[in-house]
Structure 1
Amino acid sequence: MKMRYVYLFEEGNKEMAKILGNKGAHLCELVRIGTPVPPGFIISTDACRRYFEEGKIEEDIKKEILDALKKIEKMTGKKFGGEEPLLLSIRSGAPVSMPGMMDTIINLGITDEIVEKMHDKRFAYDAYRRFLAIFGKVALGIDGKKFDEVLEKKKREEGVDESNLSTEALREIVEEYKKIFRVPNPYDQLFIAISAVFNSWNNERAISYRKIKNIPHNLGTAVVVQAMVFGNMGNDSYTGVIFTRNPSDGNNKIYGEFLINAQGEDIVSGKRTPLPIEKLREINPSLYEEIRSVAKKIETHYRDMQDIEFTVERGNLYILQTRKGKRTAKADIKIAFDMVNEGIIVKEEALLRIDTGSLSQLLHKRIKKANRKIASGLPASPGAAVGRICLSADEAYEKGLHEKIILIREETSPDDIHGVVRSQGVITIRGGLTSHAAVVSRGLGIPCIVGCNIEINEEKKEIVADGKILREGDFISMDASIGEVYEGIAELADAEFPEEMKAILSWADKIRKMKVYANADLPDDAKKAMEFGAEGIGLCRTEHMFLNPARLEIVRKAIFGDKNSLNKLLEMQRKDFIEIFEIVGEKPIVIRLLDAPLHEFLPKYEELLEKKIKGEMSEEEEEIFETVRNLREANPMLGFRGVRLGIMKPEIYAMQTRAIIEAAIKVKKKRILPYIEIPVVSDANEIRIAKRIIVDEIEKIFKEKNVRINYKIGTMIELPRACLVADEIAKEVDFISFGTNDLTQTTFGFSRDDAEEKFLRDYVERGIISEDPFAILDSKGVGELMKIAIEKARRVNEKIEVGICGEHGGEEKSIKFCQSIGLDSISCSPYRLITARISAAKAVLS
């Protein structure tokens, strides 16, 4: 059967997004349910992929396009290129929503001849100059500044904004634009524009967005060709964007903005600051009610909050697009909760809908104490941030890697996304709550304020806010939850959870099968973990207790063999464990014995060597230098650390064991159950030796104290060989926990720090590997080793507990894999516990 490339809106539905793109499929669905939509058709993603293969639009596809165009002419009673002109919009529409990342061309089909035949000259010239500017920039690649300069000059001459330019001024702008390029005939315009939209799939900002959102690069975009309707035909015409619920806080109330006598690009570009949709209720109550009613109908059909673009042409309402509305994590939670209570969806569907990738937004800090307020604007994406002023997206991209940046722009465009991603916060002078800056920042969870009363002087690299001059590099603070900007560095406070989150987490906890623990090295970490609902501590790294500057000197002396210092460390660790046990109570706590190489606690070899060469070394420093030199390693990660250290220096593991058990006995009333974990094991013999050191010390304590408590001994599986001999290891232990950070490093042969700095990002961008394996668990390699280890371990020890620790334990795709291979528990940072709890439930449901 011959492949089809073009579909009328009446011929598709929402299930066809893969072929028709997200925008096109939903326009078809809107037509299907009787929503007022201007006629149009869709050129499929198959046509896009074929375009890239052939390098042009083939004749058979052109024929399908022209056939569909004739049908649109018949529906509208207008003629493309004729006296009663049919003007078109040409818009991109990928299978996955990518707001603002690709290109749109409006008013296509207009020419000098057509303008002459149009009765409303002001409207005609306004439509023509908009088309010329967009077509020149998007389709022909002409620098947009050439068009902007002409427009700005005319605005200055007439002393008015864009919407109030006279007919003569608009005509003169058109004449100036026509000097920049020759206007093609309508049919040439059409095919040049379609090619340009196809090409925009591979523009820099679209590629960047796909990388950030992990969208495959081979999907291609559909192209939506639609009859134009005009919001700029007078004071009874409007354009607007609405959300069926508030995308910032989730409240069940229509939310959005509109402009009178304008086109959609005026809102999205941020060139004009729109009015809140509530204002329309005052201006035109019946129209407001019609929009509200249609919006509710669309939401009811889709059973989710919708982002809707509309145009009103001379009093007639048209819907130009609907899509699932992007929302903050706070709104996501409230909308899911409310829709369950409203009977629209069930709890399981609510959980599956929650975007766990954005839940970290709920942990956004807020401003506790700030300096003088210097500016305010619209709160577009919640959260608080402190950073240095940066006025360029390119500079924000460079500087944002190493320092905290707040990007301030007149308005952001899709070309700025690389700078937005690396900023702590974004502030724009123009634009509304549905402008590019607002939508992109909300999607990325970056605090954003738009429509802010700040002046920018790009030449002098400074801003003026409330009469004060601040220069690029100066610190400011922002609270994007209320839309305020402050001078200097504000004091930030932790976020507060939405009330609905407790209910949603309780739904998740009833469904999930894996236990969810937290990584916590210090008492404060343990407190945070308990606040966020951890069922225990899955990893407590004891060496982090040593890194306190006040303890470092004692640690060094202990390394040099000073028994008195070792006893002092025993007292300190016992005190730490008592405090953590008091916080965690009867919940499990996995305590990893010393893992880090000893040289990490000593002065740097290079600094000591420099002193020695200069002859500035004391006798005591000479001894330290010798110890540091002896402990120095070519590859510390694979060197004298973990169980190897415990075997060669048994007094360290004995001391740590004593601290753990004595602390547990001290708080015995809480029935503490310590899990003692041996790290960096590659052979069962290592376990046997280390276990003997631990058990002997424990028995000694039991005899001294005349008391016994329960405990468990296990190991961290973080080396490929340990996975392959897991059956031998499992005979010796009560539990195993996969340390997937190190297991990933040793499986790939990557040093994480070096890989991330030098080549890993490039590997992902070039498709050498599909994802960063330190962010998302590598199921093909590391995952296969985990499967082997679990199967071998359970074959010889049915009761063995199996878990995972590290940041993979807080990432949704990794958690889904852990569920599929039968893990008992996952453990992650306290700040990823919410994500982990919901992801673990989603893993069961999916």
Structure 2
Amino acid sequence: MTKKWVYLSSSAEKDLTKTLGHKPELAEAKVIMGGKGAGLATMTGTGLPVPPAFTITTEACIEYMNTGEFPKGMWEQTLQALGEIEKATGKGFGDPKNPLLVSVRSGARVSMPGMMDTVLNLGLTDETRPVLAELSGDEWFSYDAYRRFITMFSDIVMDYSREHFEEKLRELKHKEGVKLDPEVSLEGMKGLVDEYKKMYKDHFGTDFPTDPHEQLRLSIKAVFDSWSGARAIAYRDHEGLPHDWGTAVNVQTMVFGNLGEKSGTGVAFTRDPATGKKELYGEYLENAQGEDVVAGIRTPMKIAQLNQVMPDIYKQFVGVAKQLEDHYSDMQDMEFTVERGKLWMLQTRTGKRTAAAAIKIAVDLVDEGMITKKEAVSRVRSQDVDQMLHPFFDPQEKQKAKERGDLIAVALNASPGAATGGVVFDAEEAREMGAAGKAVLLVRPETAPDDVPGMLASQGVLTQHGGMTSHAAVVARGSNLPGVVGCESIRVDPQKKQFTVQETERVVKEGDVISIDGSTGEVFWGTIPTIEVEYEKQQDLIKLLSWADEIRTLGVRTNADLPEDAKRARMFGAEGIGLCRTEHMFFDPRARDAVVRMIMAKTDQERQAALDEMLPIQEKDFEGVFEAMDGLPVIMRLIDPPMHEFLPAREELIEEVATLRCKDPKSKELAEKEKMLQIVNAMWEVNPMMGLRGCRAGIMYKGLTEMQTRAYFQAACRCTKRGIKVKAEIMIPLVG
């Protein structure tokens, strides 16, 4: 029996039941037909007005990826499905008397930016265009549809940038003295189509395809190929999505929103995707095709304004939106077209939303009796909760910044939160300026332990290199510091105290103000207002987390190294501290100086003097941690990192010593630097993970473990005397 590669939307449920041996759940349908295909089948099956369509399965895409060819029988099934659409519409694909035009869309099982864009008006040729003009009664419309198709096919299917075509359109509008596409004359549009076909032939050495079936074959192939494109791969890597899912292909009968004032197109959500508020949210554009809403060719009107223009259509659409949300029990993202007063639904899918909206929608759906508490918790990602605990940019102000062209770059969103400050390229300078109350943002090629004081004094950190587990990312997350890392689209030059945006060659100098969004990885020029988070006022989040507590069976402790970290963790519901990294208490400049003297001490007396200075610092911090955790367990880990990390970087010392030798070979400073370099060289290791660290350092540096233990238990005793319940535990690193 030939494997089924193609499903008609009108009979998909019945055919899937036959294929699977049982009635498919929505998740199963999405695996085979993708999100768009499953949505079309659902809408068609519930009697909504959907243009006839069919879906080529994700399995066909996987087979194509493995072999480089369409799977056996797929093309024949595609032509059969096309024949069924011809029967349903009374039109013929390539028929010069009554042509069927279709759109071709990709559709993975989840919404996936970076996949192939939509191709509209497929099936138009020199032969079918005049018929479209006659049937629509609008010759200008037929040429507009044709030039759009040539542009989209060339760009999306053949990878010949649409910018070449858009430039010709801009030149024509300038020549005719008009601003909007619909204002271009009929003669101008005719000439533009001829120009586009000439450009295609000049570039590819062949005429624009005149066989609709060849147009369709190439478009399907382009959808399959887009799954393996760089953009799609990068997105899946970022979101942690498998690379072997494949994408479906959706072929749907064209309906036209650009057939006059009783036509239009729009995109809408059943709830506000930014806030989660229960109200219809979206935009509608009169006399336009779907791409016009996104392209911003004209300013669309709010979806509510459709009620004034076409009240009957608006009322029908509101009913459809409610029906779809009730069916899916989730907020829906819908695309629709109105063709000469008739509503057509083109797509529905679970809508993407902000962290705030995700939490509000989940809680509201429980309150409305549509989903269970367990379902609500499962729908909110951990990163959504994390993002809600950090200051964030006002979404409207951020959008304005993008519209102004102030978006500099997008990189890895290493640590959530929003930060704005003057650019500083030196960590020590950042520490000094931060201590003076100035808002700074540390920008480095990458960071090292020496940079930590400067990082902690900054509003946020931006690095050119590094990944999600780099030093900058780990420290930023552990310190609740907004961070963007791996920003390879900029060149950071600490010596010149500037960085350059490679694409535009725009130079950002020290002191210039930038803003970073650690939740999205975006970097902006200038200041963007932020919205401060007040946890106690986030009732939806508190409610959702209380449901998570009801459901979970796992105990949750926190990583907290300082009293303020412990207080924050306790407020968020931590049941203790699973790891207190004591070395972080030594990042304070005074404590760090004592650590350096302890490492470089020549005698036991010198080392003990340094340890005596370190003890009260640790004792005070331990006491603060116990106070915050009152009655909850605290696991303290003895100092763990390689000891050379507390000393200046080896490369910097070599450079400083060379400079001082040239200036004054007999200076006291040179002698001290040479001594430090000698110690660093002795401690330097190819693999510090296996070197002088953890319990080995405690053995090598006499008194270090004793000092830390004494500070810990003295703090515990002091707290106990004050009536604070203490549950103290110690972790000895690198034992076993």
Q: CA deviation at 1:277?
A: 1.0
Q: Which residue of 1 aligns with 2:81?
A: 68
Q: Structure 1, residues 321-346: CA drift from partner, whole Å, max 9, x if none?
A: 11110111111100010000000011
For 1:147 and 1:374, how far apart are their aligned partners in 2? 28
Give the partner amino acid of 2:728: P
Q: Structure 1, residues 551-594: CA drift from partner, whole Å, max 9, x if none?
A: 22222333423223322222221111112222221111111112
> What is the SS of the residue equivalent to 1:12?
helix
For 1:317 and 1:345, how far apart are their aligned partners in 2? 30
Give the 3 Å change call, closer, same or farther, for CA 627–132 of structure 1 in structure 2. Answer: closer
- 1:146 is the counterpart of 2:164: yes
Q: Which residue of 1 aligns with 2:639?
A: 594
Q: CA deviation at 1:268?
A: 2.8
Q: Which residue of 2 aligns with 1:837?
A: none
For 2:510 and 2:709, how far apart are their aligned partners in 1? 54
> What is the SS of the residue equivalent to 1:7?
strand
For 2:73 and 2:653, how far apart are their aligned partners in 1? 76
Q: CA deviation at 1:480?
A: 13
Q: 1:33 aligns with which of 36, 43, 46?
A: 46
Greater CA deviation, 504-513 or 635-644?
635-644
Q: 2:513 aligns with which of 475, 478, 482?
A: 475
For 1:113 and 1:249, how far apart are their aligned partners in 2? 49
Contact 2:5–2:57 under 8 Å retained in 1: yes
- 1:651 is the counterpart of 2:703: yes
For 1:303 and 1:492, how far apart are their aligned partners in 2? 32
Q: Which residue of 2 aligns with 1:240?
A: 266
> What is the SS of the residue equivalent to 1:515?
coil
Q: Which residue of 2 aligns with 1:331?
A: 357
Contact 1:104–1:197 under 8 Å retained in 2: no
Contact 2:392–2:417 under 8 Å retained in 1: yes
Q: Which residue of 2 aligns with 1:155?
A: 173
Give the 3 Å change call, closer, same or farther, for CA 26–472 of structure 1 in structure 2. Answer: farther
- 1:565 is the counterpart of 2:565: no
> What is the SS of the residue equivalent to 1:253?
coil
Give the partner amino acid of 1:677: M
Q: 1:662 aligns with which of 702, 708, 714?
A: 714
For 1:44 and 1:640, how far apart are their aligned partners in 2? 57
Q: CA deviation at 1:385?
A: 5.0
Give the partner amino acid of 2:706: A
Q: Which residue of 2 aligns with 1:223?
A: 249
For 1:531 and 1:327, how far apart are their aligned partners in 2? 27
Q: 1:175 aligns with which of 194, 215, 226?
A: 194
Q: CA deviation at 1:473?
A: 11
Q: CA deviation at 1:309?
A: 0.6
Give the partner amino acid of 2:196: Y
Q: Which residue of 2 aligns with 1:206?
A: 232
Q: Which residue of 1 aligns with 2:493?
A: none
Give the partner amino acid of 2:199: I
For 1:617 and 1:480, how far apart are their aligned partners in 2? 44
Give the 3 Å change call, closer, same or farther, for CA 508–53 of structure 1 in structure 2. Answer: closer
For 1:40 and 1:512, how far apart are their aligned partners in 2? 44
For 2:227 and 2:352, how far apart are their aligned partners in 1? 21
For 1:206 and 1:130, how far apart are their aligned partners in 2? 24
> What is the SS of the residue equivalent to 1:667?
helix
Q: 2:688 aligns with which of 596, 619, 636?
A: 636
> What is the SS of the residue equivalent to 1:510?
helix
Give the 3 Å change call, closer, same or farther, for CA 626–200 of structure 1 in structure 2. Answer: closer
Give the 3 Å change call, closer, same or farther, for CA 639–99 of structure 1 in structure 2. Answer: closer
Q: Which residue of 1 aligns with 2:455?
A: none
For 1:315 and 1:333, how far apart are their aligned partners in 2? 37
Matches within 5 A, 1:601-640: 601-604=646-649, 610=657, 614-617=665-668, 628=680, 630-640=682-692
- 1:3 is the counterpart of 2:3: yes
Q: CA deviation at 1:235?
A: 0.9
Q: CA deviation at 1:232?
A: 0.6
Q: 2:125 aligns with which of 108, 111, 115?
A: 111
For 2:61 and 2:162, how far apart are their aligned partners in 1? 26
Q: CA deviation at 1:652?
A: 1.5
Q: CA deviation at 1:628?
A: 4.8
Matches within 5 A, 1:22-61: 22-57=35-70, 60-61=73-74
> What is the SS of the residue equivalent to 1:79?
coil
Give the partner amino acid of 2:513: F
Give the partner amino acid of 1:653: T
Q: CA deviation at 1:459?
A: 11
Contact 1:24–1:222 under 8 Å retained in 2: yes
For 2:674 and 2:467, how far apart are their aligned partners in 1? 45
Contact 1:596–1:642 under 8 Å retained in 2: yes
**What are structure 1's unaligned runs of at least 5 residues?**
390-398, 405-418, 424-445, 447-457, 464-469, 683-846
Q: CA deviation at 1:56?
A: 3.7
Number of aligned positions between the proteins: 615
Q: 1:274 aligns with which of 300, 303, 310?
A: 300
Q: CA deviation at 1:46?
A: 2.5
Q: CA deviation at 1:659?
A: 0.9
Q: Which residue of 2 aligns with 1:804?
A: none
Q: CA deviation at 1:645?
A: 2.4
Matches within 5 A, 1:663-678: 663-668=715-720, 669-678=723-732
Give the partner amino acid of 2:226: S
Q: Which residue of 2 aligns with 1:495?
A: 533
- 1:84 is the counterpart of 2:98: yes
Q: Which residue of 2 aligns with 1:132?
A: 150
Q: CA deviation at 1:165?
A: 2.4
Q: CA deviation at 1:275?
A: 1.9
For 1:106 and 1:85, how far apart are their aligned partners in 2? 14
TM-score normalised by the chain length of structure 1: 0.67
Q: CA deviation at 1:76?
A: 0.8
Q: CA deviation at 1:623?
A: 6.2
Q: Which residue of 2 aligns with 1:283?
A: 309
Q: CA deviation at 1:285?
A: 2.5
- 1:538 is the counterpart of 2:578: yes
Contact 2:273–2:353 under 8 Å retained in 1: yes
Q: Which residue of 1 aligns with 2:589?
A: 549
For 1:678 and 1:459, how far apart are their aligned partners in 2? 49
For 2:731 and 2:89, how far apart are their aligned partners in 1? 74
Q: CA deviation at 1:219?
A: 2.2
Contact 2:114–2:231 under 8 Å retained in 1: no
Give the partner amino acid of 2:167: E
> What is the SS of the residue equivalent to 2:199?
coil
Give the partner amino acid of 1:126: D
**What are structure 2's unaligned runs of at least 5 residues?**
14-25, 201-206, 411-415, 424-441, 448-463, 469-486, 488-501
Q: 2:561 aligns with which of 521, 538, 542?
A: 521
TM-score normalised by the chain length of structure 2: 0.76
Q: CA deviation at 1:244?
A: 0.6
Contact 2:358–2:384 under 8 Å retained in 1: no
Q: Structure 1, residues 163-218: CA drift from partner, whole Å, max 9, x if none?
A: 33233222221111121232322222222222222222222212221221222222
Contact 2:113–2:232 under 8 Å retained in 1: no
Matches within 5 A, 1:86-105: 86-99=100-113, 101-105=115-119
> What is the SS of the residue equivalent to 1:230?
coil
Give the 3 Å change call, closer, same or farther, for CA 598–94 of structure 1 in structure 2. Answer: closer
> What is the SS of the residue equivalent to 2:635?
strand
Give the partner amino acid of 2:2: K
Q: Structure 1, residues 79-122: CA drift from partner, whole Å, max 9, x if none?
A: 22221221111111122321452232110111122222232212
Q: Structure 1, residues 473-498: CA drift from partner, whole Å, max 9, x if none?
A: 953448999xxx99845686753443
Q: 1:348 aligns with which of 336, 359, 374?
A: 374
For 2:673 and 2:320, how far apart are their aligned partners in 1? 79
